């Protein structure tokens, strides 16, 4: 059964870039391309002055070696360096300014490190081991969550002895508030690493588990979240994946044609509500906006049966679910009630899904949404006692190339001068953005001419080299950026699992 976000449940990927419920949403209009936007510095003197100003800013930065009261870890799933660059240009061009020199919110964080993303058993990792590295401090195997490299994928009994505690479990046990926000399912690999220990990342709900695993006593990820035995449980949980918490006989409250996915008959949303009578359970924007932060002890929001909508589709559909910035702002308000402090993960999970579909437009728009969430956080906290880290779990085969002129639309064809397409050997134009593999693969004989297509359309799929049903992750380093206490420790090139140790040291755990 196909679910509202075109999810391939077995792989956690999307089959296509179609909006929720397979409807063709109107393509949100792009702002006029910034091909005519002039760079803010256009002379040698201007560049020299800009460089001196940036040097002064760097020299003025002083390390904050205080203990952190709060930690917010932002993860752009699949947000490699090429995505950061293209996203910056896209965001600037959307605002009608020079995209190349635009300063995105992530660019404002003062400390940076390159991060190695390989897993214990693979040069190119999936999100399960990378998330485990980020929040539990060990590299592990592709496919498993919250367990060490000694674990055996799909084997519960062989995996159980090798559970590794996450920073969230440690913090909750010490009295901190904890929260997880994502645009993917709340049971997806990255958010699940904060609370789950499982031999197979795809066991998000019991109906996706083999009978042998259930007979061996394995627990699906959704149940692990609701039954989490640390402290008083997660204080904030916001994301998609509502079907993973509802029985197969229960009709979804938003989509009458869809039902829950639980085979055990448990209504985990009701179980959670019974255990948290002062907590708020919400499933749409109206209920979310109505939550009284001061009167609600906890907050559970499940906004789609599967993944939440892409930002472009969310806004086109009338914003029936909150944005990543909305959820971040509300999560901080909820968690800030704890006087000791809090640990919060915020994941832009659908950057990854758009890349898998070979759809750069949605990937970049969700990257802009992550910048908006970061801005909301930075406006809500005091960086003297809050460590903010923005990173990615892995990259993609996403490329940016071709010598386009400054100001050329980032989603357009390569043009120099602007408006005059640069032609490939087959006499056809090609786009600045592309993929090494994926569903957009073409052969020389059949390759369409992008100059005759709307390459900025929401559903446009960039061309790729090797044909695959789903584009793959990339294995190169990603970037970590930070501000606040201990942020200066993000420098040079570091192992991904070292990030956990920096976060733990910042909290003094």
Question: Quick one: tokens of 80?
Answer: 């490699």
Strands 493-495 and 111-116: parallel
SS3 437: strand
Annotated binding-site residue? 3: no
Annotated binding-site residue? 449: no
Q: For residue 50, give every residue at least 6 positions away whose Cβ sits within 8 Å of its Cβ, in sequence order, or none.
A: 40, 41
Q: For residue 276, give every residue at least 6 positions away whose Cβ sits within 8 Å of its Cβ, in sequence order, or none.
A: 233, 297, 298, 300
CA diameter of the chain: 72
Buried/exposed code over 145-180 (b: 16+ C-beta within 10 A; e: otherwise):
bbbbbebebbbbeebeebbbebbbbbbbeeebbbbb
Annotated binding-site residue? 456: no
Active-site option among 119, 127, 166, 392: 127
CA of residue 29 relative to chain centroid, distance:
24
Q: Would residue 127 show up in a list of annotated catalytic residues for this protein?
A: yes
CB 471 within 8 A of CB 356: yes
Annotated binding-site residue? 473: yes
Annotated binding-site residue? 111: no
Annotated binding-site residue? 188: yes
CB 350 within 8 A of CB 367: no
SS3 76: strand
C-alpha distances (whole Å) from 92 to each of 96, 102, 123, 155, 480 are 6, 5, 34, 48, 22
CB 404 within 8 A of CB 415: yes
Question: Quick one: tokens of 181?
Answer: 């926000």
C-alpha distances (whole Å) from 288 to each of 4, 274, 366, 428, 502 are 20, 19, 21, 49, 33
CB 286 within 8 A of CB 294: no
Q: In what order do the strands lie in the sheet with 464-467?
A: 398-400, 433-438, 464-467
User: What SS3 string covers 398-427?
Assistant: EEECCCCCCCCCCCCECECCCCCECECCCC
Annotated binding-site residue? 396: no
Quick one: how many helices (H) and strands (E) in the chain? 15, 17
Strands 342-348 and 386-391: unpaired
Which residue in 343, 441, 349 sits closest to 394, CA to CA?
A: 349
Return phi, psi of residue 95, to 5°: -90, 5
Which spans in 276-359 are helix H? 285-289, 311-316, 324-335, 350-356
d(CA 180, CA 348): 11
Per the annotation, binding residues for Mg(2+) are 77, 188, 190, 347
Per the annotation, binding residues for Zn(2+) are 77, 352, 356, 393-394, 473
Per the annotation, binding residues are 77, 188, 190, 347, 352, 356, 393-394, 473
Active site residues: 127
């Amino acid at each position: 059964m196909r679910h509202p976000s075109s999810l391939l449940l077995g792989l956690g990927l999307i089959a296509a870039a179609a909006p929720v419920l397979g409807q063709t949403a109107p393509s949100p209009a792009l702002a006029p391309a910034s091909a005519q936007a002039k760079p803010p510095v256009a002379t040698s003197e201007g560049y020299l002055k800009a460089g001196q100003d940036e040097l002064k800013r760097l020299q003025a930065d002083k390390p904050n070696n205080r203990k952190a009261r709060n930690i917010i870890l932002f993860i752009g799933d699949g947000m490699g360096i090429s995505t950061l660059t293209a996203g910056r240009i896209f965001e600037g061009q959307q605002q009608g300014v020079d995209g190349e020199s635009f300063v995105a919110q992530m660019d404002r964080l003062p400390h940076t490190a390159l991060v190695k993303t390989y897993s214990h058993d693979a040069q190119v990792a999936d999100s399960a081991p990378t998330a485990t590295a980020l929040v539990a401090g060990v590299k592990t195997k592709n496919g498993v969550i919250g367990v060490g490299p000694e674990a055996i994928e799909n084997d519960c009994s062989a995996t159980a002895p090798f559970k590794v505690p996450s920073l969230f479990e440690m913090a909750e046990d010490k009295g901190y508030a904890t929260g997880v926000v994502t645009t993917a399912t709340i049971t997806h690999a990255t958010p699940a690493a904060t609370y789950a220990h499982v031999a197979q990342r795809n066991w998000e709900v019991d109906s996706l588990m083999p009978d042998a695993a259930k007979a061996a006593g394995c627990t699906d990820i959704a149940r692990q979240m609701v039954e989490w035995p640390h402290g008083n449980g997660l204080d904030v949980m916001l994301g998609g994946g509502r079907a993973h918490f509802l029985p197969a006989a229960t009709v979804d409250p938003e989509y009458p044609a869809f039902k829950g996915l639980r085979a055990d008959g448990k209504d985990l949303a009701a179980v959670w509500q019974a255990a948290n009578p002062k907590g708020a359970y919400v499933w749409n924007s109206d209920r979310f906006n109505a939550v009284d932060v001061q009167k609600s002890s906890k907050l559970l929001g499940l906004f789609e049966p599967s993944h939440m909508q892409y930002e472009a589709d969310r806004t086109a559909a009338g914003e029936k679910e909150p944005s990543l910035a909305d959820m971040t702002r509300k999560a901080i308000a909820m968690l800030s009630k704890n006087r000791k402090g809090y640990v919060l993960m915020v994941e832009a999970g659908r950057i990854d899904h758009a890349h898998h579909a070979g759809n750069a437009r949605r990937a970049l728009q969700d990257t802009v949404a992550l910048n908006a969430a970061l801005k909301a956080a930075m406006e809500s906290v005091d960086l003297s006692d809050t460590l903010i880290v923005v990173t990615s779990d892995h990259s993609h085969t996403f490329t940016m190339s071709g010598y386009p002129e400054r100001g050329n639309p980032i989603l357009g064809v390569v043009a120099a001068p602007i408006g005059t397409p640069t032609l490939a050997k087959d006499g056809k134009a090609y786009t600045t953005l592309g993929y090494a593999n994926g569903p957009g693969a073409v052969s020389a004989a059949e390759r369409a001419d992008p100059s005759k297509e709307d390459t900025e359309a929401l559903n446009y799929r960039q061309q790729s080299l090797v044909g695959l049903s789903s584009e793959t992750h990339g294995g190169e380093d990603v970037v970590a950026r930070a501000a606040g206490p201990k942020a200066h420790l993000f420098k040079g090139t570091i192992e991904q699992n070292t990030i956990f140790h920096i976060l733990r040291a910042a909290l003094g755990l």
